[in-house]
Amino acid sequence: MRKDTSDGRFTTKSTWQLVRTGHTIQAVYVDVVIQRRIGSHMASRCQCCSAIETIQHLFIDSCVANQVWRHLLDIFHVTLRPMEGFEYHFQSWRFSGQFVRQGHIRTIVPLLILWFIWTARNDAKYQDIYMEPKRIIWKVYHTISLLHTGCMFRVIHWRGDMDITPLFGISLTTPSLSPPVLIYWRTPPEGSYKVNTDGRVKDGLVSGGEIIRDSSSQCVRAFFSSYAIHCITRGGGPWSIQATLRHIRHLLTFDRDTISHIYHKGNQVDDLLASEGWDRRCYFAYSAQDLPRRYRGLVQIDRHGIPTVRGL
């Protein structure tokens, strides 16, 4: 039974908490701990040498543990002072790099080392399988590879250690940043009108903005409005607008009408209209003559073909 969990069962979360807070001495039943619990001085021997089996000896000082730690310490360039305690090993790994955070590979490796030293000890004690440092190291490597295959690692978990991923059979690529793109608002063809729309959803309220411009890029009309979101999510939902959608699809069958997508950066007038609709929570329309200055400036930017930059 485990005293550190509510139901007395083993969990990896509770075990990690014990390790992190330095209470592992009471959680791992090596010979010395058992002797203390039962009050008997029974015979004790490490499974890889003739020393008394203590936690410090089994996991840190034994010849097997020393070779395992030294191998992985060298790979990750972690420096330890000699003859340091059990908890110091964890702190050294935790603070061995500037990018080490929860879930980083440098917090995972020491846990794997401890686990596989413990399982190797039990195999030696109960199944007469000799403790081999190379076998423990291979299991650490293999488990890291399996965790990667199971998508448990991302680039951020290897930050600062990307150069050693091939040693574990892992190939990670840093996401490349997309180059900046210039976004232009295009004037509609002669004799046509362009309608730009945008919407905003925040705190259960939907608002929208729309501006109509002619082939000379002049504003004909602009408006904003707010809508109750329950019109879509309650009481029949989309059925209430099916007739409108069918009418729109019918109009699109004519060659004169087209629909296309525009990036947010190229649709700033409507974005501002939608924001005003959310703030004022009403319907309001502007004519070309009473369009506010903040909108007129953006319309002129579009009219003169001044681009905005997307991706910076």
pLDDT digits (tens, 9 = 90+) for 35-48: 555 555 555 677 78
Please identify, among 124, 147, 168, the residue that sits at the C-terminal boundary of a domain.
Answer: 168
Please identify, among 168, 198, 231, the residue that sits at the C-terminal boundary of a domain.
Answer: 168
Please identify, among 168, 203, 238, the residue that sits at the C-terminal boundary of a domain.
Answer: 168
**Single pTM value for the model:** 0.49
Asked if residue 49 belongs to a domain, the reply is yes
pLDDT of 5 over the 60 cut: no
pLDDT of 236 over the 70 cut: no
Nearest C-alpha neighbor of 213 from the set 229, 235, 230, 192: 192
Position 104 confidence tier, pLDDT thresholds 50, 70, 90: very high
Position 223 confidence tier, pLDDT thresholds 50, 70, 90: very high
**Same domain, residue pair 255 and 118:** no
Nearest C-alpha neighbor of 165 from the set 135, 137, 145, 138: 145
Q: What is the pLDDT of residue 21?
A: 53
Region of 117 on the Ramachandran plot (φ > 0 left; ψ -120 to 50 alpha; else beta): alpha
Q: What is the pLDDT of residue 219?
A: 93
Q: What's the whole-number average pLDDT of the chain?
A: 80
CA atoms within 13 A on the CB side of 200: 23
**Same domain, residue pair 216 and 294:** yes
Domain span including residue 249 = 181-310
**Same domain, residue pair 228 and 185:** yes
Position 72 confidence tier, pLDDT thresholds 50, 70, 90: very high
Q: In the predicted model, what is the mean pLDDT of residues 64-78?
A: 92
Position 105 confidence tier, pLDDT thresholds 50, 70, 90: very high
Q: In the predicted model, what is the mean pLDDT of residues 194-218?
A: 89
Q: In the predicted model, what is the mean pLDDT of residues 97-109?
A: 89
Helix (H) or strand (E) holding 205: strand 205-213
Asked if residue 4 belongs to a domain, the reply is no
Rounded CA-CA distance 211/272 in Å is: 11
Contact predicate 223/210, CB 8 Å = yes
Position 89 confidence tier, pLDDT thresholds 50, 70, 90: confident
Q: What is the pLDDT of residue 143?
A: 92
Most confident of 176-180, 217-221, 257-261: 217-221
CA-based angle 175:176:177, to the nearest 5? 115
Contact predicate 47/121, CB 8 Å = yes
Most confident of 10-14, 185-189, 260-264: 185-189
- By three-state DSSP, how is residue 183 classified? strand
Structure tokens at 207: 């608002």
Cross-strand partners of 308: 183
**Same domain, residue pair 159 and 242:** no
Rounded CA-CA distance 101/156 in Å is: 9
**Same domain, residue pair 237 and 279:** yes
Rounded CA-CA distance 64/69 in Å is: 9
**Same domain, residue pair 227 and 105:** no
Q: What is the pLDDT of residue 8?
A: 55
Contact predicate 133/116, CB 8 Å = no
Contact predicate 153/105, CB 8 Å = yes
pLDDT of 286 over the 80 cut: yes
Position 232 confidence tier, pLDDT thresholds 50, 70, 90: very low
Rounded CA-CA distance 220/124 in Å is: 85
Q: In the predicted model, what is the mean pLDDT of residues 233-253?
A: 66
**Same domain, residue pair 95 and 25:** yes
**Same domain, residue pair 257 and 300:** yes
Region of 64 on the Ramachandran plot (φ > 0 left; ψ -120 to 50 alpha; else beta): alpha
Q: In the predicted model, what is the mean pLDDT of residues 156-163?
A: 90
pLDDT of 165 over the 50 cut: yes
Percentage with pLDDT > 70 across the chain = 76
